[in-house]
Amino acid sequence: MDEQPDATEHEESEPAAAVDKPRRRTLWLLVSPLLVIWVGATIATALTPTLATKHPLLLIILDPRNRNLVLARHVDLVPFLLVGVFRRMLTDPLYYLIGRLYGDAAIRWLEHKGGGGQLVRWAEKAFAKASYPIVFLWPGPIVCALAGAAGMKVKGFLITNLAGTIAAVVVLRLSGDLLGGPVDAILGFFNRNLVVTTAVTIALVVLSLLLGRLDTEPSIKDLEAEIEGGDGEASPEASSEPARED
């Protein structure tokens, strides 16, 4: 009789240990692609002068941020739109799933990773008031994770995210055309000084990495720390049951 509580405690501890393994595998599945994409974006930043003048489509494949889409104004319209929309949306479902599975811990992870505490708090307030408009207007990592953590319906999220991404890519294409003169002047400068400008951007990226000032890479250990921390621990409901839908 005296040993039964110990046996019960042993039985109850087994499932807890089993839950940690799938959680870590899930983290790797979600965060590893983000790390690969981060590496590609870092390479694109380092080689911007060369890629913008010689391989603009490759530039936006590696990193479809606003400035690169503007610099890639000479890419044909159809591949520009297809690649731009696909690449800008590529990471959004991953951040949505991270937010859906790990809740507030994912938001705190993004806050610490990006160093934008005030920006995250603003996004949280804005999202609480107008979730779908915010997803349409600003479908970035923080907002996508907020959508997942809030239990936004998958279909509604994807449709709104796609519409917002298409709108953003079209606006950036029009902006590139509208600013054609200045953009072409920059591209011309890059082309005339290709070796020097590329060497400068490589040096700046290396320096930024050494100083830790470049966008930090997604860290599985950091997200695990947030999940397992006292305040940031994901709730059992978020881990084992579908999140509440709006």
pLDDT in tens, 227-241: 766 444 443 333 333
DSSP 29: H
Judge residue 174's burial from the number of C-beta atoms within 10 Å of its C-beta, 0-12 exposed, 13-18 middle, 19 or more buried.
exposed
Per-residue pLDDT, averaged over 159-187, amounts to: 95
Residue 11 has pLDDT above 50, yes or no: no
Domain spans of the chain, in order of start = 21-240
pLDDT of residue 96: 95
Each residue's pLDDT tens digit, 131-143: 999 999 998 888 9
Judged by average pLDDT, the poorest of 23-37, 154-168, 169-183 is: 23-37
Give me the count of residues in the chain: 246
Residue 244 has pLDDT above 60, yes or no: no
User: What's this model's pTM, rounded to 2 decimal places?
Assistant: 0.77
DSSP codes joined into one string, 40-59: HHHHHHHTHHHHHHH-HHHH
Compute the distance between CA of residue 166 and CA of residue 159 in angstroms, rounded to an integer: 11
pLDDT band at residue 111 under the 50/70/90 scheme: confident
Locus of tokens 């839908």: 245
pLDDT band at residue 213 under the 50/70/90 scheme: low
